[in-house]
Amino acid sequence: MIGIIGGTGFAEFEDFERSAVLTAATAYGEVYLEQGTLSGKPLVFLPRHGHPPQFPPHKINYRANIQALADMDVEGIVAINAVGGVDPALPVPSLVIPDQMIDYTWGRAHTFFDEAIHHIDFTEPFDQALRQALAHAAQGNVVGSGTYGCTQGPRLETAAEIKRLRQDGCDIVGMTAMPEAALARERNLPYASCCVVVNAGAGIAPISHDEIGIALQTCIAEVRRLLSNLIARY
């Protein structure tokens, strides 16, 4: 069974047939989860920002979220993340399945290993097999690789910060893939992200919240198709 973590614009999962809503208790806190089926296949859906959405990126209880999915025995996690484009060539809207990450966040509870010395291998932060399955499910409608720069937020970046992200090698920028991806690795859960590019990064083009809303709407329809294709294979 796959776990889906829904991000901004994906707090409700429409095609999904919900059979149960639960509040999962973990050692790190409580988590709202939905169980159900998509195309007849079992699925767990976890809206990252809560239900209703209430936690900004730096206040999300990432440890509780990942622990709750681990406790449900999911075999992998597909995350949906809204991002800005750092590569000026990336169209808005578009979908990107990142293969690399740079973490610029700070002060987040970012590990399950506070009391023991344990260093995960994070050379490849995203699970390759799950990335390939996502790319296949997208039927060509996706950019198949890219480096995700994870910023602290909740504010958007300055133009100079976007320039620096580009110089660092980032293609997209978001606020939620870390520590989520690392925590999933710490729990040995394959994790891949489908990023929805909803705006060009600061300084590349003016940022309009209306346009972000429209881009999200357009992409979410695409993401729903992609997830249905993906789940059909599990």
Query: What is the DSSP pairing of strand 191-200 with strand 76-85?
Result: parallel
120 binds ligand HPA (CB under 6 A): no
Nearer to ligand HPA, 94 or 151 (CB): 151
Sign of CA dihedral 211, 59, 51, 82: positive
204 binds ligand HPA (CB under 6 A): no
| Member of 24, 44, 170, 198 binding ligand HPA (CB under 6 A) | 198
Span of 35-43, 67-75, 89-97, 149-157 interacting with ligand HPA by CB under 6 A:
149-157
- Rounded Cα–Cα distance for residues 88 and 104 (Å): 20
Nearer to ligand HPA, 146 or 201 (CB): 201
193 by DSSP, 3-state: which? strand
Q: Are 145 and 26 in contact (CB under 8 A)?
A: no
76 binds ligand HPA (CB under 6 A): no
Helix axis angle, 209-232 to 128-137, nearest 10°: 100
Nearer to ligand HPA, 2 or 196 (CB): 196
157 binds ligand HPA (CB under 6 A): yes
201 binds ligand HPA (CB under 6 A): yes
Which residue has 């309009």 as its token pair? 208
Residue nearest to ligand HPA (CB): 84
- Rounded Cα–Cα distance for residues 46 and 58 (Å): 17
Span of 24-32, 111-119, 127-135, 193-201 interacting with ligand HPA by CB under 6 A:
193-201
Query: CB-based contacts of 91: which residues, under 8 Å, 6+ apart?
Result: 85, 197
151 binds ligand HPA (CB under 6 A): yes
Cβ burial of 126 (10 Å; 0-12, 13-18, 19+) is buried
| Member of 38, 78, 95, 175 binding ligand HPA (CB under 6 A) | 175
Q: Which residues bind ligand HPA (CB under 6 A)?
A: 82-84, 151, 156-157, 173-175, 198-199, 201
